[in-house]
Chains A and B, each alone.
Chain A
Amino acid sequence: MDCPGLCEALVQGGANPGLAQFLSLFVGVVLVSGIPLVTVIVLILVERKVAARIQDRIGPNRVGPFGSLQTFADLLKLLTKEDITPTAADRLLYNAAPLVSFASVVLIWAVIPYTPYHFGADLEIGALYFVAVASLGTLAIMTAGWASNNKYALLGAFRVVALLVSYEIPLVFALMVPIMLAGTLNMLDIIYAQSSMWFVFMAPLAMLLFAISSQAETGRAPFDLIEAESELVAGFNIEYSGMKFGMFFAAEFMHVFTNAILLTIFFFGGWLGPLWNEPLIAFAWLGLKASLIYFVFLWVRNTVPRLRIDQVMRFNWFFLVPVSIGNLLLTALLLKLMQELGLAPRVLQTATLGEVLPMTLVLLLANLGIIALILGRLRTTGRSERLATGGGAGSMAVAAGD
């Protein structure tokens, strides 16, 4: 029986092997799931500070040095808030929804490799597991909206589910590109496949598509129809108060950072960097890259105005979906052609930089070509639309919405 580390020590201490294995797994679970719980406390403060700076404010600065204890103050406030459950609500589902929402994000962290040696579970189908678990969040939102028995909540939930379900398609098609390049669904192997070249250089378009759709999956601006404060009051969580609301809130914050980490793993080489064989340095690389991407997510959120629901859906179905499918097919074609010609290695995990360089250049040029084509097309259609509606100011005001 495979039983290293803590498990081995327990068996030597006289414990039943089965029990020892369970206990060591249990400790692992608590450690792995503890990481997101600690991160989210920091994230809330970071998010508020960054948002404040972008909006030319100072942000929380009263509780503790530089407002660093603000989150704990908020937590205490949420703990002592009265929790109102409307009489009309379906109590069981109403109470279950925040748990599912939070759990759907925590569950993703089970397959994230923090360092080459530290990870929760090394699943052969890690990427597929991520897709499966992440869509549980949609279920939680629908449950919350339905169980609240409130028309605003239900309307908000309908819209959000339509949005999340639609954006899952470009998300997964974009994810398919690194999977195809690496030839595996295993998270560790996907990272090792990038040891000579990060996938962002081979598939920048897939990276952009993945980033845009994951921003939509978290329900952040410019896709924050979840909240749409001016139209739906607060969307699906309108009837929630106290700690149950806090759980939805924390889940959203955590989801953004989780997406930043996944983007790092799939496209930016995870913990790869100089000296990544040292666990602490590897962990620092992952954290650094994910934090930078997280900052970009926050930047977009605080800069871009919210789109209307019809614009968001049009953007997805008539733009992201065709582009992501075309991108997948083009990458597949070029990859296969180069492999048949012997210009590209079939196994990236053991390939050297020299072997990978020609395919990187071809794929990069092809991606940049598509991006240039799309941008050119957008410019001409945008110009003709502006001319049709009579001046640029009008259409801009419509896009800004509320």
Chain B
Amino acid sequence: MEILNQWAFIGIFAVMAPIFPALPILIAWVLRPSKPNVLKSQTYECGVETVGDTWVQFRVQYYIYGLVFLVFDVEMVLLFPWAVAYNRLDFFAFAAGLLFIFLLFDGLLYAWRKGVLVWR
């Protein structure tokens, strides 16, 4: 019950959290002037008219960073239990952790050698 109570708190908190920023925006919506016109609500790109579509395919570089990040993110999720239980385990735990990190670290080395981590 105690654990459930803590998570109920998080649940209510998650519902309330977007309401706090929504309140001032709502108050501003009542108070502020609203006189839109065609020129005013154009896309602002330094006064130059927009050329072409914004929502196009973007550089593959960002995708590669995303992939490398994903590898490490999964690694971190799996390392959390290892870190928490570490004090209670014997020396083998260190060897297991070392092996696991090494497997992913040479993924980083591979990406490094391929040169995909260099921003171009």
Q: Which residues of A contact B (CB under 8 A)?
A: 1-2, 21-22, 25-26, 28-30, 32-33, 37, 75, 78-88, 98-103, 106-107, 110, 120-124, 128-129, 131, 146, 148-152, 154, 158, 161-162, 165-166, 168-169, 172-173, 176, 179-180, 183-185, 233, 238-239, 242-244, 246-247, 250-251, 309-310, 313-314, 317-318, 321-322, 325, 328-329, 332-333, 335-337, 339-340, 346-348
Chain A residues lying within 8 Å of B5, measured Cβ to Cβ, are 2, 21, 25
Interchain pairs with CB closer than 8 A, number: 223
Verify A317–B91 contact, CB threshold 8 A. no
With known contacts A149-B43, A173-B76, A183-B85, A25–B69 Cβ distance under 8 A: no
Chain A residues lying within 8 Å of B25, measured Cβ to Cβ, are 98-99, 243-244, 247
**Residue B22 at the A interface, CB < 8 A?**
yes
With known contacts A146-B55, A238-B44, A329-B101, A37–B20 Cβ distance under 8 A: yes
Verify B16–A30 contact, CB threshold 8 A. yes
Chain A residues lying within 8 Å of B38, measured Cβ to Cβ, are 87
Q: Which of chain A's residues has its CB closest to B66's CB? A: A165
Q: Considering the chains assembled together, what is the distance between the CA atoms of A100 and B35 in angstroms? A: 27
Verify B97–A313 contact, CB threshold 8 A. no
Verify B72–A169 contact, CB threshold 8 A. yes
Chain A residues lying within 8 Å of B3, measured Cβ to Cβ, are 124
Chain B residues lying within 8 Å of A30, measured Cβ to Cβ, are 16
Summarize B's interface: helix, strand, loop or mixed. Answer: helix
The 8 A CB mask of B89-120 against A (1 = contact, 0 = none) is 01101100110010001001000100001111
Q: Can you report 9 residue pairs joining A to B where beta carbons are below 8 Å apart?
A: A80-B31, A82-B33, A120-B13, A121-B7, A233-B44, A309-B119, A314-B118, A335-B86, A348-B87
CB distance from B76 to the nearest CB of A (A): 5
Contact of A149 among B2, B36, B55, B79 (CB under 8 A): B55
CB distance from B20 to the nearest CB of A (A): 6
Q: Considering the chains assembled together, what is the distance between the CA atoms of A204 and B120 in angstroms? A: 34
Verify B32–A347 contact, CB threshold 8 A. no
Contact of B9 among A28, A101, A243 (CB under 8 A): A28
Contact of A86 among B43, B101, B105 (CB under 8 A): B43
Q: Which of chain A's residues has its CB closest to B34's CB? A: A82
Chain A residues lying within 8 Å of B36, measured Cβ to Cβ, are 84-85
The 8 A CB mask of B38-78 against A (1 = contact, 0 = none) is 10111111100010001100110110011001001100100
Q: Considering the chains assembled together, what is the distance between the CA atoms of A98 and B26 in angstroms? A: 13
Chain B residues lying within 8 Å of A81, measured Cβ to Cβ, are 28, 32
20 additional contacts (CB under 8 A) given A165-B69, A309-B119: A22-B12, A25-B5, A29-B12, A78-B28, A79-B32, A80-B28, A102-B20, A103-B17, A103-B18, A124-B3, A168-B69, A179-B83, A243-B32, A250-B21, A310-B120, A313-B65, A314-B117, A325-B105, A332-B98, A340-B90
Size band of the interface chain B makes with A: 35 or more
Verify A84–B54 contact, CB threshold 8 A. no
Summarize A's interface: helix, strand, loop or mixed. Answer: helix
Verify B21–A336 contact, CB threshold 8 A. no
Contact of B28 among A28, A83, A313, A328 (CB under 8 A): A83
Chain A residues lying within 8 Å of B55, measured Cβ to Cβ, are 146, 149, 154
Verify A79–B28 contact, CB threshold 8 A. yes
Q: Considering the chains assembled together, what is the distance between the CA atoms of A242 and B65 in angstroms? A: 34
Verify A180–B65 contact, CB threshold 8 A. no
Q: Considering the chains assembled together, what is the distance between the CA atoms of A43 and B1 in angstroms? A: 38
Contact of B24 among A176, A185, A243, A317 (CB under 8 A): A243
Verify A106–B20 contact, CB threshold 8 A. yes
Q: Considering the chains assembled together, what is the distance between the CA atoms of A103 and B15 in angstroms? A: 9
Q: Considering the chains assembled together, what is the distance between the CA atoms of A148 and B117 in angstroms? A: 29
Contact of B119 among A129, A172, A180, A310 (CB under 8 A): A310
Q: Considering the chains assembled together, what is the distance between the CA atoms of A296 and B106 in angstroms? A: 36
Verify B87–A347 contact, CB threshold 8 A. yes
Q: Considering the chains assembled together, what is the distance between the CA atoms of A68 and B22 in angstroms? A: 25
Chain B residues lying within 8 Å of A123, measured Cβ to Cβ, are 6-7, 10
Contact of A29 among B16, B35, B85 (CB under 8 A): B16
Verify A110–B101 contact, CB threshold 8 A. no
With known contacts A150-B44, A158-B58, A329-B101, A183–B87 Cβ distance under 8 A: yes
